[in-house]
Structure 1
């Protein structure tokens, strides 16, 4: 576990170093990020789900555990919104806390899954992708529309942002191909496999390039709430629900990993585009990514 985690974070650190040393220019990072998000990551999701043998995998139980964990943390935040407001946390800051508490870094999760359990781990994590991403996109867009200072997104715009999300359509395509996997040409599946293998390393480099250590302010209440909920409460909630649904073995480990990884770097762009507190979002993302090196192995060792 620790070896796989260290390897993942070394690749992230390499991405940060490449950007810090300006070995890759900012404009090039933007292109690499778009390539990873729009092409490489969908390829690994489609290939993993299309070729997976889902008959022996607790798809419903694992998916339900993660969905309920997300809904529980989201409900807790919404219920405590008045208390946070009285503590000086305004609407835009609340949206960044919300995204930082419920979203997950899919690149880190998939890399860890492949490192820990190989193809079986990737299959299980792809189930997490299909279960969590649609719900997370709906929740985060709705919360930003309600509490941020930006112009609220229309219903049509919200639906389009969900349907066009690469994480969502690739999951749907992969599950559809799974039903006819014996008809898929080997050249096509080989093509997806090559693209997919490229996605994890490049995706982790992109995660590292997005870290900005200079933006780490003195920890405030907003940082503490997001860190505690995402790195401690979320994996604990996933573990509790997994126990209720009878999830065990490798599926339980992957459920905990999915809950325990830091928030998504893409949350910054959503905050920036929809009027959230983007600087706070960047700080939360950086802080969680650094702390996850310690909290992730603890979560897996004590809960799995």
Structure 2
């Protein structure tokens, strides 16, 4: 565990640095939005494109990993939906608040996952995590939208809008372009490769600095069953489900570590934006994101104990 924690500590400290930078006002409001857009639309796509274009997919179990992750997500989603009525009766959790629990349990912060995979597994871990994104991102986006549409008061986007969002997602586009390069056996010119490598070095620190900047400790003022469920279902049960399905699918070694990382990192920060857009409980969503990120300093090392 000490080795794993040592690999995670730089990520944790950079997240903390982002929080401190935001609170000192060195970078403010709209400036942070610009930094986030830079990371989301330029830096992380550069990492993913370069990694996928050079990855040796024959060296790791792509389909088995994807199967284990999809089975974990679908199983947890089904359990939550089946428990929906019981949750409301037992704790009085209204439907919009349930949508935040749903998103908080299923969605994941890919930026944190990439940083941890790079530190714990190395460049191979980045490639495997990029493959995990192909399986996870479309399903999680569609599932979240459908649940919010059914249980919240907001207006559901059309099917065309959902497809447009998926096929214009910069992560999906960069992975797809890298996959085409890889399948065609096309090597990047040295100048392009070196340029993307510089972008890649910038992506992980800037991305997780933005995660820290987005934390709102002042939001943690109304503890209760909804916050507890939304915060702890994911870090406790998702890694266990993922470990079980990974074992069933025969996923071992570094691939298993990546599956656990993808299943144990905190909820994605854009869950808040989706909750606000579609009538979910955005305040609860912000609290879940913040508390999950703080708890991750303990829960991720414990989850990785399953496989290290």
TM range (shorter): over 0.9
Contact 1:73 1:229 in 2 (8 A): no
Distance in 2, Cα, partners of 1:25 & 1:175:
37
Q: TM-score, normalised by structure 2?
A: 0.95
Unmatched 5+ stretches in structure 1? none
1:48 equivalent in structure 2: 51
Bigger mean CA offset, 238-247 vs 170-179? 170-179
Determine if the alignment matches structure 1 residue 5 to structure 2 residue 2.
Answer: no
Bigger mean CA deviation after superposition, 159-168 or 255-264: 159-168
- How many matched pairs? 304
Larger mean Cα displacement after TM superposition, 224-233 or 25-34:
224-233
Is residue 81 of structure 1 aligned with residue 88 of structure 2?
A: no
Q: How far apart, in 1, do the equivalents of 2:109 and 2:210 lie?
A: 11
SS in 1 for 2:157: coil
Structure 1, residues 78-101: CA drift from partner, whole Å, max 9, x if none? 111111222322222111111100
What TM-score results when the alignment is normalised by the length of structure 1?
0.96
Task: Name stretches of at least 5 consecutive residues in structure 2 with no aligned partner.
Answer: none
Are the equivalent residues in 1 in contact too, given 2:45–2:174 (CA < 8 A)?
Answer: yes
Aligned to 1:302, what secondary structure does the other structure show?
coil
Query: How does 1:1-304 map onto structure 2 within 5 Å?
Result: 1-86=4-89, 87-304=91-308
- 1:183 CA displacement: 4.0
Conservation of the 8 A alpha-carbon contact between 2:154 and 2:279? yes
CA gap 1:183/1:297 in 2 versus in 1, 3 angstroms: closer
Of 220-229 and 100-109, deviating more is 220-229
Moved over 6 A (4+): none
Moved more, 82-91 or 63-72: 82-91
Provide, for residues 167-205 of structure 1, a one-character-per-residue CA deviation record: whole Å limited to 9, x for no partner.
222222222221124343222222222222211100000
CA RMSD of aligned residues (A): 1.3
Assess if the C-alpha contact under 8 Å between 2:145 and 2:156 holds in 1.
Answer: no
Q: CA deviation at 1:277?
A: 1.0
Note the alpha carbon deviations across 1:260-297, whole angstroms, 9 max, x for none: 11111111111112221111110000000011111111
